[in-house]
Structures are given as structure tokens and as C-alpha cells.
Copies of this chain bind each other. A is one copy, B any other.
Amino acid sequence: MDDLYFEDFAVGDSFVTDSESVSEAQIIRFAKEWDPQPFHTDVEAAGRHELGGLFASGMHTLGISFRLFIATEVLAACNIAGAGLDNLRWPRPVRPGDTLHVEIETTAVRPSRSRPDRGSIAMHYVTKNQHGEPVMAFDLVHIVRRRPPAATTATIEDDLGAP
């Protein structure tokens, strides 16, 4: 993918990630390290849980989803940091064997008032399973760089005698 900068994003742009499957072993391994609750780490205990069986930590689903979006390289050139995350919901559990992908839509594009080198881009993420059912959704604001001023850079490099 070509390098994308603030100027390249518009409200309504959409992106779709690759898919990734999640196994029982991965759910348990993640949860033992980051979210050690029995309904994420123990098949037998999860069977007695209200949700009726092992399901992935919500942070695991978040991690998979964010990794899938990073792999698209949409943010590879421009990302400075995440500014904030809102409206994170998990409408149904992620089960062993589920295959997830993420659909992302740009919902707002705002230049920075104080920093001319950057702006913010709000994106709505929806992670879906192999049945097309949403398992997670959230809104994330990314702080991103504006496109570097190519002409100015060339002039400076010329002045410095750079190749």
C-alpha cells in the first residue's frame, strides 16, 4: 500500500482486514497472561458459566482486531498515537474456532488547531465472526501526520548537498 497521510483520509472511507482464526489454546494462553478469569482459562469452569462455555477475553479480541488493522498498513506511514477509544462493546462471545475479520470506516477527519504537522482521524471498527455477526465494535481516534512537504524537503536537501 502507498504511504497514507492525513490528507488521504475522508469520511466514509472503508477498509477490510484479512481474517484470523482463534483456537481454544490461544484463548487460554492469552487469558492466563492478561485476563486470568476461569471462564477464559478453564474449559470445565467455563461450562458452568452463564455464557455456556469458553470464550475469548475481550482484550484478546481487541488485540487480534488491532493487529489485523495494523497489518493493512493503512496507518504505517502516518500514525503518531491513539488519542482515545470509546463505545467498546462485545455483543456476542468469541468462541474457539471462530474466524475474525475487521471492517473499519472513517467517521471524522479533523486538522489539528495547534499543530500544523498533524490531524486526527476517527474510525469505527467492527469485528465480525465467520457468520458475519459482530463480536466487537469500538471507535478509535488516531493522531496522524500530514504529508511531509516534499518540495521544501527537496530544497533543503539541495541546500545541504544531499543526494
- Contact residues of A with B, CB < 8 Å? 33-37, 49-51, 58-59, 62-63, 66-67, 70, 75, 79-90, 93, 118, 138
Q: Give A70 to B57 CA distance when docked, in angstroms.
A: 12
Smallest Cβ-Cβ distance to A55: which chain B residue: B81
Is the beta-carbon distance between A67 and B35 smaller than 8 angstroms?
yes
Known: A63-B59, A80-B50. A36 touches B88 (CB 8 A): no
Which of B59, B67, B75 sits near A62, CB closer than 8 Å? Answer: B59
Main secondary structure of the interface of A (DSSP, over half): mixed
Q: Do residues B37 and A67 form an inter-chain contact, with CB atoms below 8 A?
A: no
Q: Which of B49, B58, B66 contacts A35 (CB 8 A)?
A: B66
